[in-house]
């Protein structure tokens, strides 16, 4: 099991494909004993009746997802959930995607362009081999900047470096930031300096995804909101990223235990 | 001696109520097996013989779904168990559930004439006995079903009220489809009530019973998101029942409530019950196993959460409630079971704030002592803080069980559905009709958090009205 590997699944889910809008997510459960995992959709094809998810392998659940063969199935797929991204014509907008956040960013970028905005996209990854959807993002935007942390491709450095340069010279009306928590935090910090409205998409831990359990609560502007029904997108300038980051670590020990056990089982079966 | 007694006072009241055999508290507090074992046949018959078979049975007045109680008990006396279960099925499709979780003491048993001077007939235990017997040893006979009407009914939510509506309408010949947002049917019976109080196998068997009758169950459908109400009508459904439940947890709104280890009761119980986190790592969903656990609230859900925490290995579990024992909304039996298992009660105590460590995990809380003041809107004396009574309590896990509000997912995306100021659906109290033609609602999404049997009562009422509508019109 290669940690860090990025996987794409196209799933037949006609009802969801028909209804889904950019920014919405699904909940997936691989098998009877599996967890319910929320993932924002990277694409939908209402005609084919499919939805696409792209994720990085980080633990047991994502490993289980990856182990599904073409033609196999997730036991449960539920959605579309969450509020869709609010798309309107504003002028110049910047879409910043990091890691697998680029996958989530893609349909939003496309929709913003279709709505008549001038769209500048910045995408980044740790290194070239983890970079995804470059061509699609190029097609979905007017201008694309690519960054890698290790300099193996494109701009050597963080997406926030490029964002800063753009904000300094352009009249940007909106920034959308989707990626790892530290990235979204720094994107929001920079845009706050330039007073540019910013949305981020939060990947809180969830159970039901329908507002029933409150697992995904986040502090936004000092108020508790549920990422599943009030979000997943919130005003980046108001999100308590520290709290979000801590809450994402809630089950770190259990995740490690489950992953180790699963890895050992896989080895033994081999 | 026995003969003398029976000559003098009639044969029934000198035999006292047969106690339910159950797991010993010191054992059961650490396992998830069901607490009561259920009556043996001998105990059941002995208990049934206590029934006076009253001409005007008061017990039936106490039953929200009007089960013919004396009739089914008479069949038990005669050891005709198949007839007994059939008698219950006439009014109640979920007897194994109701026998376990109904508050009989304030319903059927509360009205039993024997209870005036002694102890009432254990109606719940008897209902459970015949339902379990049928499930384990029955031939799988189905009650008779009316011929097809060709009408299609959508039931949204597979909790107690939805299952009741489905059961009633399928027997009346309608084509019923149940939609459930979760991946398993049963609603609160599956995600909320713990295994040790209601084994999930029983819920699935009750759902299976409806499926064998011809009801379709569609899980993973969030009505309001995956499909909406208009689309259901477009798809040819003639009537819709909304039994959504009250799925929006309330929190305490005190500082520190988002620390790790603080759960809503919905989340805690859903993790443990539906997702089987108590079996982690065999099941993948994790749950925080607290050593010192605080549970806020004193209803049945709070008791379920506290007893779950004890079973997950806690050293201390404290129920923290800002009113006094008298105001505790939980059933007496649940409180008793919790106390037997070593749950502590911190009454007249209110949380002020939670305290956490550098990793954002809860480590303790500050509380205030309360005293009872004037009665509030609910008629209960409202708690008032005692000045200078602040104190610290350690806790590494907490569950907030102070009720639920109305989940807006369906109601906010549906046109023509009247809501009250709290967001609950407005439904006629006699029929369950909403303000939208062809749509009924019942259970917690109408009344706010209540009990399983009240939800079933609402479902029964609505299904009668729906049946009339399908035959005659709105």
What pLDDT score does A207 carry? 96
Q: What does the pLDDT look like over A138-160, one tens digit per residue?
A: 999 999 999 999 999 999 999 99
Give the distance from CA B293 to its chain's centroid. Answer: 24
Stretch (H or E) spanning B25: helix B25-28
pTM above 0.90, yes or no: yes
Q: What does the pLDDT look like over A34-46, one tens digit per residue?
A: 999 999 999 999 9
Residue A210 to residue B222, Cβ atoms within 8 A: yes
Residue A224 to residue B280, Cβ atoms within 8 A: no
Q: Is A249 on the interface with B (CB under 8 A)?
A: yes
Q: What are the Cα distances from residue A166, in Å, to A123, A138, A145, A150, A186? A: 14, 17, 10, 21, 15
Residues 6+ apart with CB under 8 A from B384: B370, B371, B372, B373
Q: What does the pLDDT look like over B260-273, one tens digit per residue?
A: 999 999 999 999 99
Q: What does the pLDDT look like over A102-145, one tens digit per residue?
A: 999 999 999 999 999 999 999 999 999 889 999 999 999 999 99
Cβ-nearest to B270 among A208, A247, A255 = A208
Cβ-nearest to B260 among A214, A250, A261 = A250
Residues 6+ apart with CB under 8 A from A122: A94, A95, A96, A97, A144, A145, A146, A147, A159, A162, A163, A166
Calpha distance A208→A205 (Å, rounded): 10
What pLDDT score does A217 carry? 96
Name the token pair of B344: 């502590």
Q: Which residues of B touch A19 (CB under 8 A)?
A: 225-227
Q: What does the pLDDT look like over A45-58, one tens digit per residue?
A: 999 999 999 998 88
**Which ipTM did the prediction report?**
0.93
**How many CB atoms are closer than 10 A to CB B106?**
13
Residue A243: closest CA among A257, A222, A229, A263: A222
Instruction: State what percent of residues in chain A have pLDDT above 70.
Output: 97
Name the token pair of A158: 């963080």
Residues 6+ apart with CB under 8 A from B234: none
Task: Looking at chain A, list the stretches that DSSP marks H as alpha helix, in order from N- to C-terminal side.
Answer: 14-19, 60-67, 101-114, 134-140, 159-169, 181-193, 241-248, 252-269
Q: Using the structure block, give the residue that is written with the tokens 């009007």.
A: B66
Burial of B85 (0-12, 13-18, 19+ CB in 10 A): buried
Q: Is A4 on the interface with B (CB under 8 A)?
A: no
Residue in B closest to A229 by C-alpha? B409
Instruction: State what percent of residues in chain B have pLDDT above 70.
Output: 97
Q: Is the Cβ–Cβ distance between B299 and B322 less than 8 Å?
A: no
3-state secondary structure of B374: strand
The pairing of strands A233-235 and A198-201 is: antiparallel
Q: Which residues of A touch B181 (CB under 8 A)?
A: 78, 208, 210
CA atoms lying within 13 Å on the CB side of residue B125: 24
B252's torsion region: left (phi>0), alpha (psi -120 to 50) or beta? alpha
What pLDDT score does B378 carry? 78
| Alpha-carbon torsion, ordered B26, B28, B31, B34, to 10 deg | 180
The answer to whether residue B173 scores a pLDDT higher than 90 is: yes
Q: Please enumerate residues of B whose Cβ is less than 8 A from a Cβ of A.
A: 181-183, 219-222, 225-227, 247-249, 251, 257-258, 260-261, 263-264, 266-267, 270-271, 275-276, 280-286, 288, 359-360, 407-409
CA Rg value for chain A = 18
Residue in A closest to B265 by C-alpha? A213
Q: Which residues of A touch B271 (CB under 8 A)?
A: 207
CA atoms lying within 13 Å on the CB side of residue B282: 4
Q: Using the structure block, give the residue that is written with the tokens 């029964």.
A: B460
């Amino acid at each position: 099991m290669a940690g860090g590997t990025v996987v794409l699944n196209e799933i037949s889910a006609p009802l969801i494909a028909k209804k889904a809008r950019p920014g919405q997510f699904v909940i997936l459960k691989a098998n009877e004993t599996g967890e319910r995992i929320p993932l924002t959709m990277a694409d939908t094809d209402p005609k084919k009746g499919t939805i696409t998810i792209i994720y990085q392998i980080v633990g047991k659940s994502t490993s289980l997802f990856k182990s599904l063969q073409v033609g196999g199935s997730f036991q449960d797929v539920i959605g579309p959930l969450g509020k869709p991204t609010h798309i309107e014509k504003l002028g110049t907008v910047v879409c910043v995607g990091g890691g697998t956040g680029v996958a989530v960013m893609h349909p939003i970028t496309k929709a913003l362009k279709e709505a008549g905005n001038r769209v500048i996209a910045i995408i980044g990854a740790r290194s070239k081999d983890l970079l995804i959807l470059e061509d699609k993002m190029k097609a979905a935007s007017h201008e694309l900047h690519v960054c890698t942390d290790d300099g193996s491709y494109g701009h050597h450095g963080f997406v926030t470096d490029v964002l800063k340069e753009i904000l300094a010279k352009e009249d940007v009306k909106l920034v959308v930031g989707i990626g790892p928590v530290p990235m979204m935090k720094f994107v929001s910090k920079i845009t706050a300096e330039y007073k540019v409205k910013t949305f981020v998409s939060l990947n809180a831990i969830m159970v039901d995804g329908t507002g029933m359990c409150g697992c995904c609560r986040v502090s936004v502007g000092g108020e508790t909101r549920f990422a599943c029904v009030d979000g997943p997108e919130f005003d980046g300038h108001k999100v308590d990223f520290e709290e979000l980051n801590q809450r994402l670590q809630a089950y770190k020990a259990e995740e490690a235990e489950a992953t180790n056990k699963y890895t050992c089982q896989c080895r033994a079966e081999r | 001696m026995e003969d003398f007694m029976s000559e003098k006072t009639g044969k029934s009241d000198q035999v006292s109520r047969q106690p339910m055999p159950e797991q010993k508290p010191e054992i059961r507090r650490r396992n998830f097996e069901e607490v009561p074992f259920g009556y043996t046949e001998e105990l059941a018959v002995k208990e049934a013989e206590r029934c006076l078979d009253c001409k005007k049975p008061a017990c039936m007045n106490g039953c929200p779904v009007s089960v013919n109680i004396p009739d089914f008990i008479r069949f038990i006396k005669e050891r005709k168990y198949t007839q007994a279960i059939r008698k219950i099925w006439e009014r109640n499709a979920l007897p194994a559930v109701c026998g376990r979780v109904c508050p009989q003491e304030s319903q059927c048993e509360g009205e039993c004439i024997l209870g005036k001077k002694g102890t009432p007939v254990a109606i719940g235990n008897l209902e459970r006995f015949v339902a379990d017997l049928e499930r384990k040893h029955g031939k799988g006979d189905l009650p008779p079903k009316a011929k097809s009407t060709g009408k299609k009914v959508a039931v949204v939510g597979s909790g107690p009220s939805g299952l009741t509506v489905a059961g009633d309408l399928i027997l009346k010949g309608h084509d019923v489809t149940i939609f459930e947002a979760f991946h398993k049917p049963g609603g609160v019976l599956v995600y909320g009530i713990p295994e040790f109080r209601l084994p999930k196998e029983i819920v699935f068997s009750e759902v299976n019973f409806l499926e064998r009758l011809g009801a379709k169950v569609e899980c993973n459908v969030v009505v309001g998101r995956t499909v909406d109400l208009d689309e259901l009508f477009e798809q040819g459904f003639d009537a819709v029942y909304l039994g959504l439940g009250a799925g929006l947890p309330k929190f305490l709104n005190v500082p520190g409530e988002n620390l790790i280890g603080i759960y809503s009761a919905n989340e805690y119980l859903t993790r443990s019950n539906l997702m089987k986190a108590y079996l982690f790592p065999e099941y993948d969903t994790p749950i925080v196993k607290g050593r010192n656990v605080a549970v806020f609230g004193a209803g049945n859900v709070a008791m379920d959460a506290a007893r779950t925490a004890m079973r997950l290995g806690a050293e201390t579990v404290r129920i923290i409630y800002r009113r006094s024992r008298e105001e505790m909304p939980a059933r007496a039996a649940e409180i008793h079971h919790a106390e037997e298992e070593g749950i502590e009660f911190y009454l007249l105590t209110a949380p002020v704030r939670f305290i956490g460590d550098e990793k954002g995990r809860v480590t303790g809380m500050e509380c205030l002592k309360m005293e009872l003041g004037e009665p509030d809107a609910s008629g209960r004396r409202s708690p008032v803080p005692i000045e200078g009574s602040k104190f610290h309590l350690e806790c590494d896990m907490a569950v907030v069980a102070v009720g639920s509000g109305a989940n807006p997912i369906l109601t906010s995306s549906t046109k023509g559905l009247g809501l009250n100021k709290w967001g609950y659906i407005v439904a006629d109290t006699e029929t369950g009709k909403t303000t939208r033609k062809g749509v009924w609602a019942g259970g917690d999404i109408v009344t706010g958090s209540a009990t399983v049997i009240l939800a079933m009562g609402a479902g029964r009422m609505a299904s009668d009205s729906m049946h009339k509508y399908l035959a005659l019109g709105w």
